Amino acid sequence: MKSTFQKYGYREIQTPMFENLELFTAKSGETIIDELYSFKDKGNREIALRPELTAPVIRFYVDKLQMEPKPLKLFYFGNCFRYDRPQKGRYREFRQAGCEIIGTSTPEAYAELIALAYTILTNVGLKDIQLSIGNLNILSSIFKTLKISKDKQKQLIPLIDKSQFEEISNLMQEFGIKNEEVENFLDILQTSNIEKISNYIINDDLTKKELSYLKEILNLLEKSFEIKDYKIKIGIVRGLDYYKGVVFEIDAPVLGAEKQLCGGGAYELISLFGGKETSTAGFAIGFDRTILALQTERYQFPLEKIDVFIIPVNIETIDKSIEVTQILRNNGITADIDLLRRGMSKALKYASSINAEKIVIIGPKELEKDSVTIRDMKTGEQTLVKINEILKVVK
């Protein structure tokens, strides 16, 4: 993940594990306190373990980085905390990888951001992911056209978020919206056809402009970034109400109900923290859930291996064995030596338990010839090798 962020020109940022509580309530409202590990420190300050990293990064930007050349591309990898009922893929302490791009709102910037999130998840080895792209300004203007008030939106949004179409339909009819309009809205929530969406909002010039901007992004994403496997989903609402404009999500269908791996989009937060507002966008990837998705897809995680395990045949050869071990280590080879003065068979068993690929056996007979015995653990083949040629053989 880190290496993909870096290839896209992002630089790592690290922020403290806790912040003033008000940083998170300012961003997400007082209700977030229920989900936080918050406490008073010995100086009676209200602090909270960070539940996410966007607010800390933007806080740091406002404090220290406002004068940096734009765009500023920052990525992070860190632990976050949420006081929540732990369940599969949702832990009280969890890890997030993510990024923020500050100071640009060109279509190519958003297309690159979406491409980056998608590329990170394919680069780590996931085979089946589903990218959905929406736009909150378009959804907002649809709400406006349908005369759905902010209060009513708050009832509707959780249902849209969960794609509960029957419940959406019932609630909208309760709101007094005509059956035909409800049906059309449900159609738009479920279509990935941009022309259909375009026809639906045909009478709203501002929204048409927003849509043509979205088209530009999608065009770059397909043609230049070569990411063609996505859906348009106008019903992406995201939990947070600070998002504006383009939003996107990436799911791993293999995970079932808790399938969302990544969420992101354009948002406004800088002025809330006292900085000069400039375009910002970003995304966060649930690291633990990504691992879970890889496991479910039966991804072969690399085994931790030891290149060489050295066994001194008796106490007299320990010093020489250490010297050989150090030659290997100093030349970039992962080497370990028996530190328990065990007999050969026990030492070999240990070597196998730590996945040693080669064994170097060092006894008095070998040392008489300035040599050691090298055994390949896969083939079982043993060869006598001069100590000054050991590097050549092992490499």
Q: Which is nearer to a copy of itself, 109 or 247 (CB)?
A: 109
Enumerate binding residues for a copy of itself (CB under 8 A).
6-9, 11, 16-18, 37, 39-42, 49, 69-71, 73, 79, 81, 83, 93, 101, 103-104, 106, 108-109, 111-112, 220, 223-226, 304, 306, 318-320, 322-323, 326, 329, 332-337, 339-341, 349-350, 353-354
In whole angstroms, give the CA distance from residue 277 to residue 271.
Answer: 5
Q: Which is nearer to a copy of itself, 71 or 264 (CB)?
A: 71
Tokens of 364: 């008095």
Taking the complex as a whole, how short is the minimal distance between the CB of residue 315 and a copy of itself, in angstroms?
10
**Pick from 156, 191, 154: nearest CA to 31:** 154
Q: Which is nearer to a copy of itself, 354 or 393 (CB)?
A: 354
- Contacts of 49 by beta carbon, 8 Å cutoff, 6+ apart: 17, 18, 36, 37, 38, 80, 81
In whole angstroms, give the CA distance from residue 379 to residue 60.
Answer: 55
Residue 230 β-bridge partners: 131
Q: Which is nearer to a copy of itself, 101 or 139 (CB)?
A: 101
Q: In one letter, which amino acid is 105?
A: S
Taking the complex as a whole, how short is the minimal distance between the CB of residue 141 and a copy of itself, in angstroms?
26
Taking the complex as a whole, how short is the minimal distance between the CB of residue 110 and a copy of itself, in angstroms?
9
In whole angstroms, give the CA distance from residue 6 to residue 20.
Answer: 30
Taking the complex as a whole, how short is the minimal distance between the CB of residue 297 and a copy of itself, in angstroms?
22
Taking the complex as a whole, how short is the minimal distance between the CB of residue 18 and a copy of itself, in angstroms?
8
Q: In one letter, which amino acid is 44?
A: N
Q: Which is nearer to a copy of itself, 89 or 312 (CB)?
A: 312
Q: Which sign does the torsion angle of CA 240, 243, 245, 246 carry?
A: negative
Taking the complex as a whole, how short is the minimal distance between the CB of residue 145 and a copy of itself, in angstroms?
32
Task: Compute φ and ψ for 372, nearest 5 degrees.
Answer: -135, 160
Q: Which is nearer to a copy of itself, 306 or 391 (CB)?
A: 306
